Amino acid sequence: MRNILVDYAEKRRAKKRGGKERPLSDVVAVAGAPEADLLALHEAMKRLEAIDARQSRVIECRFFAGMSIEETAEALGLSPASVKRDWAMARAWLNRELTA
């Protein structure tokens, strides 16, 4: 899902201005993020993955796939407590990266 959203945002950014603006896809609208934010998030996610791949996977499951804590724990083979901890740490790290 992350790659689909990023590809969509990159194509829209690369397209020359002019003509009628097309609305964002339903998926992007549900995510609540304009494409510029999605590209910034994608870049930050690549940096997070280099630091802590597990936290990056938790963000992908929770944000992009819409999984619950329990579903994420099962998918990644972790305990729900570990997912909650990684989710909190990764959100804080991403928040700092995206607001800097």
Map out the domains of the chain as residue ranges.
2-99
For tokens 């802590």, name the residue.
52
Fold of 2-99: Arc Repressor Mutant, subunit A (1.10.10)
Q: Which residue has the higher pLDDT, 86 or 24?
A: 86
**CA 22 → CA 18, 19, 39, distances in Å?**
11, 9, 18
Reported as a single tens digit per residue, the pLDDT across 14-63 is: 555 443 444 434 334 434 555 557 788 888 999 999 999 999 999 988 88
User: In 10 A of CB 87, how many CB atoms?
Assistant: 18
Q: What mean pLDDT comes out for the span 3-8?
A: 59
To the nearest whole percent, how much of the chain has pLDDT over 90? 45
Query: To the nearest whole number, what is the mean pLDDT of the chain?
Result: 77
Instruction: Write down the pLDDT at residue 27.
Output: 38
Instruction: Write down the pLDDT at residue 10.
Output: 57
Does the structure show a pLDDT above 60 at 98? Answer: yes
Q: Which residue has the higher pLDDT, 69 or 20?
A: 69
Encoded amino acid at 75, one letter = A
